[in-house]
Structure formats: C-alpha cells, structure tokens
Structure 1
C-alpha cells in the first residue's frame, strides 16, 4: 500500500460498542465510494492493489479491518458475529464518513456480508461485487457433516473439510503455534493443493499440527506477508475463527424477517447491478456451484468475469481485476 495512505486510518466505536479500525479516503468530485470487505485470515491491507488503484483515480475508499482482525475489536463471544449486527457496524462507518451511496466489494467472508447488505440495505448502495466467493442466501444451516455429505453427492468430493478443524476449541492454539504453516496453505503457489488440504477433512489439521509448509504464492509479497503475520500473532485466531463458528453454531439462524421465518426467497434477489469475479481454480467455492447461484439471484444485472487462478484473484491478477471492476462501475453509473 502507498505509505501515504497509512495515515488515513481511523477508529470508530459502533452503535453496539465495538471498535473498528478502517481506512478512509474521501471521493473526488462525483466519484462513488468503494467499501472493501475482506475475509479470513485477512486484514484490510489485503486490498492494497485496489486501494492504490481506485484512490489514485478519485474514488472514495473505505476498507475496515473486519471484526476479529487487525486494529478492530476481537470478541471471543461468538454471538457478536451475527451477520446482521456486522452489517450495522459497516453502516455505522459509512454514516460516520457521510457516505450515502457506495459500492460494496466483498471477498471470502465479505461475500455473505455484502449479500445481506443487498437484501436489507440495497437503497444505500449503487451495486455489489463478489470476489471469488459467491452470493450467500440465508436459511437453516446444516451441521458440517451433513454439508460434507451433500458436497460429495453433488460434486463427488467434500469442499469444506477444513471447517472440521476450524470449529474445534483447540484450533486457535494449534494455528498460533504454526502460523506460517496455515498461511502457506491458504495462500498457496499451487491452488490445486486445496483439493487435498482444504477439501478433505483432517488434512489441514494434520498439516498444521506438524508444522509443515508448502510453497507460498508469489502474489503474497514479503511486505504483505509480514503485515499479515504481525497482525495475526498480535491478535490471535480465537476471535477470527468465530466467523466459522457463528455459522456452525447457528448464530445466524437469528437472521429472520418477522418472528418465526427466515428471509423469504423473494427478498433475497439482488436488485442492484452485480459483479462477480469467479475463480476457476477456487476449489472451495467451486465454479459449478457459484455461477448458477449468481445467475439465479442477480436480477438487477450481472457482469461475470472468469479468472483462471485460485481464491485470491484480486491479489493474483490485480491489473485485470481492477480494470474489469472499474469498467463495471463505469457502466453501472451510466445506467443509473
């Protein structure tokens, strides 16, 4: 990230009493503001290619360290990770920055958050962009073993085997002792390594427990790598892993409309323009699942761009990603 932008970070205490640390760069003239929402195990610095690119072109940027990461609060109580509450945290930030109309961009766990922003606060946004991870609908969430069985039936293999490790009480301590091991798995030189280490239950746990490493991706440059390690060593993994536990523990079963029903399907369609950067070698959010879901729900218009790499398309192919995202934003503003 351009070092001159480091001073642009601010802190806010949201309406529910949590501190968020976030980058804020005001828009120039009538350019929109982009809200960048990262996932696991990231920090806002993960967006440095996009922060540099779009701020240099006059776009506003708001990029928070999400709950559990960086300079933001790290609650250990999983109930704090209710997605609708996190959505309100982000709206508090936008209100503090006097941003009335934004474009939300979400990667990994940022994807379900912008999905909820689309469902419940579409009037606050010009459009929504999903990066690698597809649109998230909300309803009953099955136990992880049931999900893995469903994966095998539909795709011939499990997809979320690593969730079995992340839900364990011992997972934060194991990872903190072998942090380099986890980072090498999550940012791999060969995205096909996820077919074993991420998809198959038990594999990532054994790998990390034994302190093994695989070749790190070149797109995770030394400065980014150092910042990521420093942040995770300082803050630990207990809070960050609550993003998984809030789903597996049924916390988000409280996301309902009315007293007794989940958000009805008719309220889950994306009514604003949508952008989807789909990764052909993301072996967790697989192409055959993610693309039909986006096509079904993106009724407000969809631009889909295919990338040949893995989960971290905004890091792996930043020039193409930034150009395609900017083009979609330009088209979206012209249509509106």
Structure 2
C-alpha cells in the first residue's frame, strides 16, 4: 500500500520558508492543515538527523496535516537551505544541541506558537530530548524515532572511550569528525554516491559504503548502486541541497560531544515529565533497541513502540511509523492521556 508523501520540489500542501533565527538563516518546510481557514489543533516541529534534511519527514507531514496540525520542519544548522557556518572562524557551539534547542524555541516564537509538540529522528531525536529539558515552558509532548533518551552525565565520556567500551558501533562518528570525509566527498557525483550508500545502496557484489564501526568505505563509494529509499527526483533534491555547502556543517555535529556535555552541566535534572513516545527500529545497527532500556527511569510518561525497520524507519516503514505516531497523538496529545 502506497503512503502519501510530500514532493520535495513542489507540493501545494507546504511552502518553503526562510527565517533569521538567532543570527542565522534557517530554511524550513511549513504546512497548514486543510486550508487557511481550518482550525489548527496545534503545532508540531519535526527535527531531522544525519545525513538527512527536513524533507526526510515527507511521509509523516501529510498525516499530521490531515490530523489538523500546523507542521514546521526545519533544515538544521549546516544542512540544506539553512546556513552552514565554517568552523573556525565560527564557534563549534553553533552545532551543539543547546543552540539547536534555542533555535527551535526562537522559530516557534516567530511563528506565534507558545506551545509545540516536538518530534525527532537520529540527531534530531537527541535534539528533541534536550530541547524538552532546556525549554519545558514551550514543549508539551516529545516523540523520537530510533534515538533513545540519554541522561546527563556528570563525568565526560569521549567518543573514543564510548567506541572502546560499550558502543563500538559508534566508530563511524570518529571518522565523520575527522577532516577526511568532508574533504573527500565534494562533487555532485561523489555526494550522489555517498547518499545512495548511506541510504542502503549496495554494489554489484553486495559492497557497502558505510560500516558503523569504521565509517565511510571510500573504495566502495563509486561501486554502490541506487538506494531504494529515494526516488530519482528525491535523490536529485538531496544532492542539490548537500552540494550547496558541502558536508562540513553536517559533520560538525559529530565534533560537539564535549561542548554538549559542558552545556548539559547547566541542566538541573535528567527527568522529563511531559508525555513522551520512543519508536525503536528493531534492525537499527547503530541505535540498538537495547540502548533504550531504562529510559522510564527518567521519562515518567513514556510510551515505547517498535517497528520492523532499520535506522531509516521514517521512509522504509512509513505506514508502521505513522500508525504509531497517529495513535499516540490521538490518545495522548489530543486525548489528554499521559501514555498509551
């Protein structure tokens, strides 16, 4: 069964907008339910991860509009039509989670949204958990696809120590944080192959371009074929957007671990008491479902559901994801329950 989705270039249900947010230009997708005269039940912000864009939520936006919500999906710092400041001279903190949370809050203010529901995937999932902690006055509900909640740690744990210890599948983060990836993937053809590989494309003999423990396998970059998760039109859109500023801004997110930890120390608690939803992907090889165990210790109104999908659950299993999100919104966001 086909699932409705937003066209990246031209779709009457959404517009592509720009806003100056805390000194940086953001591009965002804006969708209004029905028509301009429809009663808006609320505003939902959708936050993407790496290597994605706001259009990564293309299968979820239509159903949220049908449910009566205004939808705002920004390209995050360094991505697509949003600014991608070069570091240095710009401070690396521009790519930190507190800055992302503050930018969400400012964009909500500009859109006259005193309360919002916040959804995230991948890095976007990490952002929405922290945004709920930084801006509890703004965010009424949070949902995250694939990304489990991580509490504030009093002691700094480097990416290197995580890889040597409990999370060897985070080895790719060390590679992305190095200068190599952004330096070697620069042309449109290289970006095209990179995106095909990241979204599951394989070579004729099954070659993979991405290994969670190692990162990008450059020798397979030109071998991988077309991803099944992106149409040719969608792939062209992604390539154009990523070629705009290259990969520098996007991989800066992997260089902010210590900055994020330092800023976390200002938070008084790891507890989130608003209703939350965690949708785990059963076959995610990086954000393992087991990483979500114990989340209920910090999230008092947590609902957990799962989908038979890899990390790209939003586009691989959109119907299953949408059913979960819709039920949670109907019962919790609109129905007033604390959890399912």
Are 2:242 and 1:229 equivalent residues in the alignment? Answer: no
TM normalised by structure 2 equals 0.85
TM normalised by structure 1 equals 0.86
Q: Which stretch has the larger CA shift, 105-114 or 169-178?
A: 169-178
Are 2:157 and 1:142 equivalent residues in the alignment? Answer: yes
Question: How many residues are treated as equivalent by the alignment?
Answer: 315
Are 2:213 and 1:200 equivalent residues in the alignment? Answer: yes
- The corresponding residue for 2:297 is 296
In 2, distance between residues paired with 1:189 and 1:270? 38
Secondary structure class of the residue paired with 1:218 = coil
1:270·1:297 contact (CA, 8 Å) conserved in 2? yes
Out of 41, 44, 49, the position equivalent to 1:39 is 49
In 1, distance between residues paired with 2:325 and 2:46? 12
Q: Which stretch has the larger CA shift, 23-32 or 130-139?
A: 23-32
1:268·1:297 contact (CA, 8 Å) conserved in 2? yes
In 2, distance between residues paired with 1:100 and 1:216? 42
Are 2:178 and 1:171 equivalent residues in the alignment? Answer: no
Are 2:254 and 1:254 equivalent residues in the alignment? Answer: no
Q: Deviations over 1:245-286 (max 9, x none)?
A: 112xx2223314xxxx4534xx21221111111001111010
- The corresponding residue for 2:104 is 90
In 2, distance between residues paired with 1:134 and 1:194? 29
Secondary structure class of the residue paired with 2:166 = helix
In 2, distance between residues paired with 1:18 and 1:46? 22
Are 2:31 and 1:25 equivalent residues in the alignment? Answer: yes
Out of 17, 25, 39, the position equivalent to 1:10 is 17
Task: Measure how far apart 1:176 and its partner are.
Answer: 2.3
Which structure dedicates a bigger proportion of its chain to helix? Answer: 1
Q: What is the correspondence of 1:28-107 to structure 2 with a 5 Å cutoff? A: 28-77=38-87, 78-107=92-121
Unaligned runs of 5+ in 1: 153-157
In 2, distance between residues paired with 1:214 and 1:235? 23
- The corresponding residue for 2:195 is 183
Secondary structure class of the residue paired with 1:160 = helix
- The corresponding residue for 1:274 is 276
Secondary structure class of the residue paired with 1:151 = coil
Secondary structure class of the residue paired with 1:105 = strand
Judged with a 3 Å threshold, the aligned counterparts in structure 2 of structure 1 residues 189 and 212 are, in CA distance, closer, same or farther, namely closer
Cα RMSD of the aligned pairs, angstroms, is 2.4
Task: Measure how far apart 1:334 and its partner are.
Answer: 1.5
Unaligned runs of 5+ in 2: 1-5
Secondary structure class of the residue paired with 1:49 = coil
In 2, distance between residues paired with 1:213 and 1:304? 38
2:101·2:135 contact (CA, 8 Å) conserved in 1? no
- The corresponding residue for 1:155 is none
Secondary structure class of the residue paired with 2:212 = coil
Secondary structure class of the residue paired with 1:123 = coil
